[in-house]
């Protein structure tokens, strides 16, 4: 499985949000409650992105089951 690591720096805090700055200049507001405790401005965060194939298959199956139920009841 392929993974992608992305780094961000906590630029500042605004109320209940941390403003994250990424290397490409993008900024993102992230809830402080969803970050590790004890972080300060300037802390470097690493996000790891990966595909969750099992979840994707489960969602596809749920959609198929729902569609089949709808079609069965429309006859």
The CA–CA distances, whole Å, from 15 to 8, 26, 27, 29 equal: 19, 20, 16, 11
How many other CB atoms are found less than 10 A from the CB of residue 13? 13
In CATH, which superfamily holds the domain spanning 3-73?
Nucleic acid-binding proteins (2.40.50.140)
Spell out the domain ranges in the chain. Answer: 3-73
User: pLDDT by residue for the chain (75 residues), tens digit each?
Assistant: 678 999 999 999 999 999 999 999 999 999 999 999 999 999 999 999 888 777 777 878 888 888 888 888 776
């Amino acid at each position: 499985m392929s993974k992608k690591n992305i780094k961000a720096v906590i630029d500042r805090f605004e109320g209940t949000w941390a403003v994250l700055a990424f290397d490409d200049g993008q900024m993102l507001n992230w809830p402080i409650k969803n970050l590790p405790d004890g972080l300060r401005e300037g802390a470097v965060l690493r996000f790891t992105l990966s595909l969750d194939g099992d979840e994707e298959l489960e969602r596809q199956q749920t959609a198929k089951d729902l569609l089949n139920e709808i079609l069965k009841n429309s006859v």
